[in-house]
Every structure is written in structure tokens, then in C-alpha cells.
């Protein structure tokens, strides 16, 4: 019969949330067991992928390019503390490409916003000092700018995370409905690249929280960098090595199928190349994506009855969690939607005539953002120096009718989009590749507290971590996964009577933005108190 290991903590999921939890527990000598379903890589969406050969050159593909933003303070501090922080490639220029009625125009927006001489939240106005930007606008864009300003002010005055403001039923499409075409396209483009979905599905709460964290309250919030070598693998694999060096255990190819309460401990069952395996633990940190977390929380019983009978002395089928209604009330819990996307990569034997390394497509394109890999990623840089070529990565975030098309159709349209903007690349394409990422990307959405799981759950000694978990921190994606992972580890440490690890706070809004925020939130507070008094009467 298979043996059952015992650990203090089992972490389910080897993405950034799970790695952050495991590292911080290993630092305190708790030696956690981390289980990752992928057979090759740790890191989740930051992990490596398949390798392709282009004319004799090998390229390892990632889930997609990831920006490491200046506000990712805890993530960067974690890497630096363990001497794992690589030399990032700083972002310089991001381009906005807009096509309407077949006419394509472009303007540089990234450095213009983050280097604006105007204080936040007025730093966006620096765009209007660039002729290339205002020439993209028509009369309606100028006349309807007050509506845009009202929308931005709403983002300053409403803090969806801290106030638990779900803004239920409201989408970015609702906010921008009366905006002018060009400015609406710009902000929907920013939202699409931040929330990775189409306007109809972009929750307004998530969009406002995204704007606040990444740009609205501080100019330098839009300072970010790229990982230089093999993408996220250059970070995630060293993190795994560091965990193991501190006594932690990481297992790849371990797909957890069920969790169950077994007396005072938890019992975890997973499938591996060796078959079905089990382990017990005092604590569980559930660090998978939201939909896999939901599946595990709905698990009814452990699959292998012989193990239950032989090792635990229970009757057949005895080990099972309480019903989901009694255990957690899952019928009232909402899990953020997980999104799929497609990544297109094109190689050319020539270089484009552009000084901007990245940007966004808006309007009549199927592509949504792009990155010139030969300027950002070291393997592509070396190849470009030796061959004189270039390579672009572009992401497609929907809609479903686009993602459901055959690969050949999507590639043909993507190639047409790229070559219509950089006409000098026509006839120079040497390789094309499409990668379909599964539905694991979280749609950022703020929900009512009673409807979303937080780090601490109603289960005893069961914690959640990930970018989908409810928490008042304003962080997004990699940083949110990291900080919720650390907080989950701290809860384990606290229960064990061990000193917890401190967290870094985020930089405050610039003075003018902070003053506007204070005025708006104070005014809203007075309105709420007045309504409460009137209701009491």
C-alpha cells in the first residue's frame, strides 16, 4: 500500500503565489511541500513553455511577455532578499496604434505619461502636447473630453479594493459609452491589455482598481521593466531552487485531485507519474487559479478507498469533507472568471522602422498589444545581432468568436495586421507561431466580501493565495499573487507561534491626487451618513 507522508504545510500550486508562500515558510524552517501540476516548470503563468526552432536557432516560449512594474514592491523585494533579482530591461517607449475606417495613426504614450511634468492625475494631459497624439483626434474627441475627465475622477475617488466596491453590473463599456471614438479606443485598449478581455466583460470595479494601481495616482507607477532571459523561467526556477536549498520540497507533475479533512489534519490526494499519492498536513495553502480552486473545494471524497481503509482505519468512502453548503456555503461564493488568450509570434529577416519596443493596437485590429522581442529578450537579441532579423509577440484577448477560429485563420489576420503597420516587413517573414493559453488568467473583479474567498477561509487551517483572492491590497497579478502568498504564509507562521514576515506598503498618491481623493471620499462618506440618519428616522 502507498505510504502517507506528513508535512506541516502543503501548498497546492507552484505559481508565484505558491512559490512566495513556500519560500517564506522555508525561511522559517517549516519545510513545506509544494505540489505543481506541470511536469516541466514551476511558475504557473510565469513559467516556461515549448521550444521552437527557427532556422537553426532555439527559442523557449513563455506564456507571454510580463511587465515587472515599479509598484511590484514585495515581489522585487523577495527576489532581492534572496539574490535572485535579475537585471531587468527597462521599458522605454510604448506606442498607441489606432485604425479607423482603414486609416492607421500612431502616437507614443508610455514615456509621455510617466515622464509628464504635470502632476497626477493631470499627467495624461501631457499627451495633448504631442502633435502625433492630437492629430489622432477629431472634433468630437476634443468636445467630449469633460466626460473622460469625469471617468478618471471616479477612479480617483473610488477605491474598489479598500472599500469593497463591486459596482455590480457595471462595465468599462458602460463608463465609456458616451466618450469620443478615439479616446474611448485608447482607454479600452489600456483596459483590455490590463484586464485581458473584451469591453462587454470588463468589470468597472476591476478597471478602476487597475487604473489606480498602475497609473492614475502616480506618474512613476507606469515605470516597469521586462525579464531579460527566458522570460519568467529565469525567476521561477531559481525560486524553486532556493526553496529546496532551505529544506522545502517541490514536486512537479503532481496534479491534486482532492482535499479532505481527516481528524485534526488535512489529507491531500494527487496524481503523478507514480500513480496516486497522498500526504497529510496541519495546513493547506490553496494557490491555484480560481477555477481549479473551486473544483478542489467542491471535492466530495478522496479517490482511493484502499488507502483510506488500510492506513486510516475508516470505513470505505469515509474520508470526505462536509457538504459544500455546510463546509463553506459555496453556493454563495463567486469565483472570478478565468480567461484564455492567444499569443502570436512572428519572425522576420529584416527590422521594422520604429523606435518603440512595445505598444497597443486599438480599433480595427484583431491584435491587442505587442512587444519586439529582439529588443527585450536576450535569446532574441543575440539572434537579431547575428542575423539582422526581428521578432514580434502580439496578444489576442478575444472575443470568443475570434479565439474559436482555426490557427491558420488567426495567423493570417495577425500577419496582415503587423505588415499593414510596418509595411517594410512585407515579404520578409520567415516563421509564424500561435500559442493558445488555457483559461487560467484571472479576470480582475472586485466582489462583495461575503461572496468572495479571502486569504483566510472558513475551513480551519486552510488558506487561499493568488491574484484572484479577496484582499484590501491594491496590487494586481504578479504582485497580488506574491503578497497574498506571503500573507497566507504569515497566517501559518502565526498559528505556529513563529515570527511573521513584514510586508512593504505601496507608495502613496501624489499630493494633488491624494487631495482630490480625500475630498471625494469624504463627500461620499457624508452622503452615506446622511442617508443612514434619514433611514433611522
pLDDT digits 0-9 by tens, 188-221? 898 888 888 888 888 999 999 999 999 999 999 9
Spell out the residues 6+ positions from residue 229 whose beta carbon is closer than 8 angstroms to its own.
86, 377, 378, 379
What is the percent of the chain where pLDDT is above 90? 64
pLDDT (0 to 100) of residue 329: 57
pLDDT (0 to 100) of residue 321: 43
Q: CA distances (Å), 348 to each of 371, 379, 414, 512, in order?
A: 14, 15, 14, 47
Give the residue range(s) of CATH 3.50.50.60 domains in the chain.
4-44+234-336+445-495
Higher-scoring residue by pLDDT: 534, 171: 171
Mean of pLDDT over the chain: 89
Phi, psi of 346 (to 5 degrees): -125, 135
Statement: residue 106 has pLDDT above 90: yes
pLDDT (0 to 100) of residue 227: 87
Which set of grid coordinates corresponds to residue 416? 496582415
Rounded CA separation 308/79 (Å)? 41
Spell out the residues 6+ positions from residue 83 whose beta carbon is closer than 8 angstroms to its own.
none
Query: Tens of pLDDT along 470-503?
Result: 999 999 999 999 999 999 999 999 999 999 999 9
pLDDT (0 to 100) of residue 164: 77
Which set of grid coordinates corresponds to residue 219? 506618474
Query: Tens of pLDDT along 265-298?
Result: 999 999 999 999 999 999 999 999 999 999 999 8
What is the DSSP track for 321-365? PPPHHHHT-GGG---PPEEEEEEEEEEESS--S-S-SEEEEEES-
pLDDT (0 to 100) of residue 145: 86
* Preceding peptide of 48 cis, ω within 30°: no
Statement: residue 108 has pLDDT above 60: yes
Which set of grid coordinates corresponds to residue 332? 454563495
pLDDT (0 to 100) of residue 254: 97
Per-residue pLDDT band for 99 (boundaries 50, 70, 90) equals very high
Query: Is 0.85 topped by the overall pTM?
Result: yes
**CATH number of the domain located at residue range(s) 4-44+234-336+445-495 in this protein:** 3.50.50.60
CA dihedral (42, 377, 70, 446) positive or negative: negative
Rounded CA separation 204/208 (Å)? 6
Amino acid at each position: 500500500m502507498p505510504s502517507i507522508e506528513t508535512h506541516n504545510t502543503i501548498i497546492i500550486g507552484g505559481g508565484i503565489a505558491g512559490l512566495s508562500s513556500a519560500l517564506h515558510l522555508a525561511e522559517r524552517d517549516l519545510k513545506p511541500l509544494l505540489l505543481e501540476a506541470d511536469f516541466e516548470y514551476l511558475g504557473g503563468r510565469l513559467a516556461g513553455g515549448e521550444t521552437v526552432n527557427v532556422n537553426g536557432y532555439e527559442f523557449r516560449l513563455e506564456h507571454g511577455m510580463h511587465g515587472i512594474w515599479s509598484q511590484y514592491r514585495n515581489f522585487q523585494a523577495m527576489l532581492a532578499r534572496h539574490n535572485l533579482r535579475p537585471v531587468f530591461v527597462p521599458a522605454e517607449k510604448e506606442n498607441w496604434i489606432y485604425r479607423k475606417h482603414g486609416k492607421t495613426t500612431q502616437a507614443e504614450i508610455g514615456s509621455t505619461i510617466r515622464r509628464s511634468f504635470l502632476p497626477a492625475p493631470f499627467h495624461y494631459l501631457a499627451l495633448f502636447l504631442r502633435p502625433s497624439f492630437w492629430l489622432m483626434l477629431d472634433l468630437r474627441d476634443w468636445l467630449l473630453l469633460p466626460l473622460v475627465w469625469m471617468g478618471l475622477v471616479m477612479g480617483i475617488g473610488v477605491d474598489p479594493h479598500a472599500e469593497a466596491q463591486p459596482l455590480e453590473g457595471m462595465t468599462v463599456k458602460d463608463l465609456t459609452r458616451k466618450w469620443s471614438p478615439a479616446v474611448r479606443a485608447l482607454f479600452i485598449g489600456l483596459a483590455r491589455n490590463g484586464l485581458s478581455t473584451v469591453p462587454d466583460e470588463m468589470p468597472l470595479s476591476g478597471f478602476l482598481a487597475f487604473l489606480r494601481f498602475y497609473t492614475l495616482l502616480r506618474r512613476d507607477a507606469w515605470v516597469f521593466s521586462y525579464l531579460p532571459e527566458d522570460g519568467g523561467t529565469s525567476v521561477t526556477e531559481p525560486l524553486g531552487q532556493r526553496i529546496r536549498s532551505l529544506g522545502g520540497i517541490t514536486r512537479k507533475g503532481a496534479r491534486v485531485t482532492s482535499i479532505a479533512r481527516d481528524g485534526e489534519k488535512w489529507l491531500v490526494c494527487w496524481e503523478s507519474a507514480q500513480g496516486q499519492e497522498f500526504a497529510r498536513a496541519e495546513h493547506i495553502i490553496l494557490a491555484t487559479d480560481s477555477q481549479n480552486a473551486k473544483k478542489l473545494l467542491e471535492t466530495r471524497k478522496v479517490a482511493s478507498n484502499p488507502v483510506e481503509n488500510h492506513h486510516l482505519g475508516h470505513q470505505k468512502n469515509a474520508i470526505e469533507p462536509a457538504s459544500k453548503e455546510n463546509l463553506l456555503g459555496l453556493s454563495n461564493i463567486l469565483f472570478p472568471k478565468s480567461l484564455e488568450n492567444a499569443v502570436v509570434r512572428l519572425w522576420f529577416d529584416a527590422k521594422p522602422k520604429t523606435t518603440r519596443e512595445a505598444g497597443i493596437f486599438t480599433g480595427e485590429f484583431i491584435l491587442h498589444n505587442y512587444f519586439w522581442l529582439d529588443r527585450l529578450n536576450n535569446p532574441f537579441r543575440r539572434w537579431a545581432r547575428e542575423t539582422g532579423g526581428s521578432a514580434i509577440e502580439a496578444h489576442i484577448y478575444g472575443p470568443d468568436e475570434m479565439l474559436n477560429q482555426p490557427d491558420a485563420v488567426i495567423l493570417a489576420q495577425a500577419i496582415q495586421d503587423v505588415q499593414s503597420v510596418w509595411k517594410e516587413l512585407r515579404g520578409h517573414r520567415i516563421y509564424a507561431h500561435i500559442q493558445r493559453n488555457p483559461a487560467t488568467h484571472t479576470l480582475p473583479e472586485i466582489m462583495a466580501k461575503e461572496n468572495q474567498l479571502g486569504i483566510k477561509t472558513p475551513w480551519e487551517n486552510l488558506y487561499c493565495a493568488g491574484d484572484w483572492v479577496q484582499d484590501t491590497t491594491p496590487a494586481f497579478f504578479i504582485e497580488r499573487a506574491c503578497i497574498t502568498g506571503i500573507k497566507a504564509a504569515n497566517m501559518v507562521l502565526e498559528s505556529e507561534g513563529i515570527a511573521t514576515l513584514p510586508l512593504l506598503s505601496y507608495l502613496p498618491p501624489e499630493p494633488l491626487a491624494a487631495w482630490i481623493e480625500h475630498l471625494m471620499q469624504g463627500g461620499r462618506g457624508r452622503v452615506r451618513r446622511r442617508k443612514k440618519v434619514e433611514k433611522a428616522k
